[in-house]
Amino acid sequence: MDLSHLVVQLAIAVFCGVVGNMLIPREVPGKFWGLVIVGLIGVWIGEIGYRLLKVEYGVNYDFLNWHIKNVPIVPAIVGSAIVIYVLTTFLRWGRYRS
């Protein structure tokens, strides 16, 4: 991993954290910085899940192959939504917005 890959991961993490928060409309602790951390963890989980689906199960859809600098976009968004759901459900910090 080089510096440009890390910068792209951070930019995608912010985007995925915001989109994941739109999909799961709950308050994330830490507001913006919380979304950045959720996005980074979501990118990591998305990359692992994408690799598992591709290598182990042979799933290869075109929309899963959208990536920037080898950071998959759709799996990162799904990973961020999963992290927001787990964080807000099991830690009981989140409440639905009205």
- For residues 84 and 21, the answer to whether their CB atoms sit within 8 Å is yes
User: Has residue 15 got a pLDDT over 60?
Assistant: yes
H-type alpha helices, 24-71: 31-56
Cα 56 from Cα 89, distance rounded (Å)? 30
Q: Encode pLDDT of 25-75 as tens digits.
A: 877 878 888 888 988 899 899 889 888 988 888 888 877 778 888 888 888
Q: Whole-angstrom Cα distance, residue 11 to residue 9? A: 6
Stretch 83-90: mean pLDDT, rounded?
A: 84
As a whole number of angstroms, the distance between CA 45 and CA 95 comes to 24
Report the pLDDT value the prediction gives residue 61, as an integer from 0 to 100.
Answer: 80
Q: Is the per-residue pLDDT at 81 higher than 70? A: yes
Which pTM value belongs to this model?
0.80
Predicted pLDDT of residue 34: 87
